[in-house]
Amino acid sequence: MTRISLTVDGASVSDDVEPRMLLVQYLRERLGKTGTVIGCDTSNCGACTVHLNGTSVKSCNVLAVQADGAEVTTIEGLASDGRLHPVQEAFRECHGLQCGFCTPGMIMQSVALLQENPKPSEEEIRLGLEGNLCRCTGYHNIVRAVQHASGQGEEVTA
């Protein structure tokens, strides 16, 4: 067991973990951060994407011990003061989700993408989300959501 201390969604946490424990397992099993999910075992699907010190990572591909001293943000820490993050709001507005299982990872990756490139083209969005699989939406409305969040979307009427 190794002692790790880190910040997750703004809260300081500290635990003894097995060296082999994955960050995603730590988040889910120790912290109850079940908003972050596991969709595969080969780091293809991206459902477990979180931010580690501000950069998106697939948390199945990071050991919990590697996050010692780091700041982790999950889908559960994205909204602040009861207000949705603009990307969360855009996914809802543009129907960028159906079953919602890929959504936490897809949103976290989209946030990271827009941090790097605030006005991406459609092609840049598609390439930027290549590491996140969705089986429901056909990606069409996910792309619209990212465009919308970047202020490039068409006006959507309710």
Partner 1 sequence: MTATVERPTEAKEIGRERRRKEDQRLITGRTRWTDNITLPGMLHMAMVRSPFAHAKITSIDTGAAAQATNVVAVLTGADLAETQGACINAWAITTDQVTPAHPPLPADRVTFAGEIVAVVVARSAAEARDAAELVDVSYDELPAALDLKEAAEATADNGGVLAHPDLGTNKSALWQFDSEQAGTGGSVDEAIDKARSEGIVIEREYRQQRLIPAFMEPRSVVVDPTGEQITMWSATQIPHILRFALAATTGVPESKIRVIAPDVGGGFGGKLQQTPEEMIAFAVARRLGKPVKYTETRSESLMSGHHGRDQWQTLTLAATKDGTVTGLKVDLLADLGSYVALVGGGVPVLGAFMFNAIYKFPAYQFNCQTVFTNKTWTDAYRGAGRPEATYAIERLMNELAAEVGMDPLEVREKNWIRHEEFPFTTVAGLEYDSGNYEAATARAKELFGYDELRAEQKRRRDSGDPVQLGIGVSTFTEMCGLAPSRVLGSLNYGAGGWEHASVRMLATGKVEVITGASAHGQGHETAFSQIVADRLGVAFEDVEILHGDTQISHKGLDTYGSRSLVVGGEAVVRAADKVIEKARPIAAHLLEASVDDLEFSGGRFSVKGTDQGMAIGEIATAVFAAHNLPDGVEPSIDSEATYDPVNFNFPHGTHLCAMEVDTETGALKMRKYVCVDDIGNIVNPLIVSGQVHGGLVQGIAQALWEEAVYDDSGTLVSGSFVDYLLPTAADTISFDIDHTTSPATTNSLGTKGVGEAGTIASTPAVVNAVVDAVRHLGINDIQMPCTPERVWKAINGAGGGGTADTEGAAMPHFDQAEPGQDSTEGAGQ
Residues that bind partner 1 (CB under 8 A): 18, 25, 28, 32-42, 44-45, 47, 74-76, 78-79, 84, 88, 91-93, 95, 97-104, 107, 122, 125-127, 129-143, 156-158
- In whole angstroms, how close is the CB of 11 to partner 1 at the nearest point? 15
- Tell me whether residue 14 or residue 123 sits nearer to partner 1 (CB atom): 123
Q: Which token pair is 44?
A: 């293809």
- Tell me whether residue 70 or residue 142 sits nearer to partner 1 (CB atom): 142
- In whole angstroms, how close is the CB of 77 to partner 1 at the nearest point? 9
CB atoms within 10 A of CB 104: 25
Q: Report the C-alpha gap between 143 and 94 in whole angstroms.
A: 9
Biggest CA-to-CA distance, the chain: 54
- The residue ranges of DSSP E strands in the chain, in sequence order, are 2-8, 11-17, 49-52, 55-58, 71-73
- In whole angstroms, how close is the CB of 107 to partner 1 at the nearest point? 6
